[in-house]
A and B are shown apart, each in its own frame.
Chain A
Amino acid sequence: MASIAQLNSRGHMRGTAQGSRSRYLSMALASRKLMNRLDSFASTGELSESMVEALTNLVTIMDTSWQTSNSFAPVPGNSPFGRYEQALIVNEVAGPFNSRDVRGKLARLAEGTIQGADRGATVREINEFLYDLENRALYKYSEESSEREW
């Protein structure tokens, strides 16, 4: 998959929009909120609606990125992960964890099919992925802040 830097150098990326910087911060906050909710799920076993929504959203984004058919992607909507630049990061971060494995675990968590002994271990693994996602989003946010402010 092409990285953001490569895309920029090829001129395929959109110019940096006013709102794009804050989207990275939204993405970092969304990652943290999901980590917290997953922690709560690990200890109680209760799925919250907002947690399922966030997990499903991530699964959809990962599926769209693997799409190879010649059709337009869906309209991204307002998801903090859904914009093109943010979706690229989701997939770049998932890569080292084995994207298909991450995708599968996210899907099973959303479906509520992971319970019992597997719950804690799966949440720990996904939270490692979300930690990296938050880390990368914060880095991108700071990077774009620096470009403007220093």
Chain B
Amino acid sequence: MNGDERSRALLHDTAACYRFVKSTSAACKLSGGFPSYLGPTRKLLEHIQELSVCTQTFLSNFPSTNQVEPAEYRRHRQLLHLIRETWKSLHFYVQPAVDADTLNVPTALVKLLTERVQLIGNCKSLEFAVIHTDKLNYFQFPPGDFEKNVIDLGEVVAPRLKFPPNLGLVALPHSQAQHLFLNGLLAHEIGHFVFARLNCLDRIKEAISEGFRVAFAPTAILGLSATQLKQYPEVLQDWAEELFCDLFGVYLLGPSFVLSSIEFFDLSGTLAADGSIDERAAKSHFKFEWDHPARLFRLWRQSAQLEKLGWWDEISKNKSHHIRLIDECRKLRREAFSFEVPCGSSIIDAFFKTIESIEDEVARLTTKLRNRKRQSREVEELAELRDVISTYLGHAVVPSTLYVRNEFKRPNAIVLLNAAHLFYLSGIEDLMTRSDMPDRTRIDRRDIWMERVENWTTKALEDIALPNLGGA
């Protein structure tokens, strides 16, 4: 190509990239008050729109071939490719972010989670934009990548444009927006953000290296390939972060988080007819995977955390099979788990040496969520109000304000969430019996009452978040 041809080609491709960016971000243009978004989500949409404008300005000023040394031409062409690929990656998130208006996110739960996180040191100003995802698995969506790409692209096209510094992203499956209890898993996603933001890995790294030193005899190391020597520390890093996020979820929401995990992974299917864990049914749940610890391992550690935080004594008498499973998990031991790679058992051993450090890190961050006995602050109130909340729900009454010992009382949001979740698991039949649809074997009717319990709980969470609720 001669100079003119090169110039025309570059102009065309720059304009094509410009058009792509403009149309990709068009959905983020907000006008008026509808739809309504939570503040952080609005901030996110505004930032994407601003990034789009900056990218378009950058492309408008993109050097023509006359301004670029022939040696630099290639590099400029590749920059166009990079910008387009990055916007392609953002395209994946833009419409889900636009769809996450306040009618389509569990607003009360998101606010509750945000308040809890803000109690943690250095997290006082953190807030979370909620976006949708078409992926059903909460645990496999990496909104942190989206945030990073937005920041990095900003640095390339508009170094002065700064991503809101305290804005984190969490994503929920678009079809599950109305499911209050299941969305407790967002606490795990928030854990990923906190893990990165507070550089938690820096305080766990040494324990991982030490774990390898203790678990692998020098002769065992000789048998590993160079690839394995490089990959296995990466595996432990990933497992450590996942465990951190699970435990963080337990600290943030208490038993409700664990119950959500059981439902999401359908782990109650591992219970045998006699109520013990069916090793055959649970076989795959004992296996560690490259990216995640075994599911029953995760539940086991969550159960241990419930015990440490004082929750277990208060929930153990609940008759649901979920609680039964947690109880069974408490009996698990190291030998139950496997990782099917060369020296997999030693890798698990190394990870077990790391667990204490991970648990310490979560505990260190969440001091303010515990009382002087190092238990969750809400445990005692749950003991006091659990049955009252259950009675209210059992009579189809929204438990925003409770009448307890001759006075009105507004329950703590975490207490309300957990008491309602326990009722959801074990009290629906009582509620149905008192209703005009008493056939408890009808799945469709059970579904109606389950949805109502979630709706009443959501309403109560919204009510108690209001300042100066009358009577309380």
| B222 closest partner in A (C-beta) | A70
- A141's nearest neighbour on chain B, judged by CB, is B85
Number of interface residues of B (CB under 8 A): 46
Which of A17, A26, A33, A75 is in CB contact (< 8 Å) with B208?
A75
- Contact between chains at B233 and A76 (CB < 8 Å): yes
Chain B positions within 8 Å of A13 at CB level:
227
What residues of B have a CB within 8 angstroms of the CB of A57 in the complex?
A: none
- On chain B, the residues within 8 Å of A114 by CB distance are none
The reply on A41 being an interface residue by CB < 8 A is no
Chain A residue nearest to B135 (CB atoms) is A18
Residues of chain B with a CB closer than 8 A to A68's CB: 226
B156 with A33: CB separation less than 8 A:
yes
Chain A residues closer than 8 Å to B152, beta-carbon distance: 26, 29-30, 33
A83 touches B234 (CB 8 A): yes
Chain B CB within 10 A, most for which of A15, A71, A72: A72
Contacts of B205 in A (CB 8 A): 74-75, 77
> Which one of B30-38, B71-79, B178-186 is at the interface?
B71-79
Q: How far is the CB of B167 from chain A (nearest CB, A)?
A: 18
Contact of B229 among A17, A18, A70 (CB under 8 A): A70
Within 8 A of B (CB), among A8-51: 12-15, 17-19, 22-23, 25-26, 28-30, 32-33, 35-36
Q: CA separation between A28 and B79, bound complex, in Å?
A: 10
User: Could you say which of A17, A22, A29, A141 contacts B291, with CB atoms under 8 Å apart?
Assistant: A17
Q: Which of B75, B156, B222 contacts A29 (CB 8 A)?
A: B156
Bound: A87/B231 CA distance, A: 11
Please tell me if the beta carbons of B78 and A72 are within 8 angstroms of each other in the complex.
no
Q: How distant is the Cα of A19 from the Cα of B142 in the complex, in angstroms?
A: 7
B291–A73 contact, CB under 8 A?
Answer: no
| Known contacts A25-B89, A29-B152, A12 near B225 by CB under 8 Å | yes
Chain B contact residues: over half helix, strand or loop, or mixed? helix
B148 touches A33 (CB 8 A): no
Instruction: Tell whether, in the assembled complex, residue B233 and residue A70 are in contact, meaning their CB atoms are under 8 Å apart.
Output: no
Contact A18 B212 (CB under 8 A): no
* In the assembled complex, B455 has its CB within 8 A of some CB on chain A: no
**Of B145, B209, B218, B229, the contact of A75 (CB 8 Å cutoff):** B209
Cβ-defined contact, A75 with B228, below 8 A: no
A68 vs B225: C-alpha distance when bound (angstroms)? 10
Distance of A97 from chain B, by nearest CB (Å): 16
**Known interface pairs A25-B89, A32-B82, A75-B236; A12-B227 also in contact (CB < 8 Å):** yes
Which residues in window 57-116 of A have CB below 8 A to B? 64-65, 68, 70-78, 83-84, 87
**Residues of A with C-beta under 8 A to B86:** 25, 29
Task: Please indicate the chain A residues that have their CB under 8 angstroms from the CB of B280 in the complex.
Answer: none
Residues on the A chain within 8 Å of B140, using CB = 18
Could you list 7 examples of A-B contacts with CB < 8 Å? A22-B89, A23-B145, A33-B152, A70-B229, A75-B209, A138-B78, A142-B85
Taking A14-B231, A70-B218 as known contacts, 8 extra A-B pairs with beta carbons closer than 8 A to each other, sorted by chain A number, are A18-B141, A22-B142, A23-B145, A29-B153, A71-B221, A75-B208, A76-B233, A138-B85
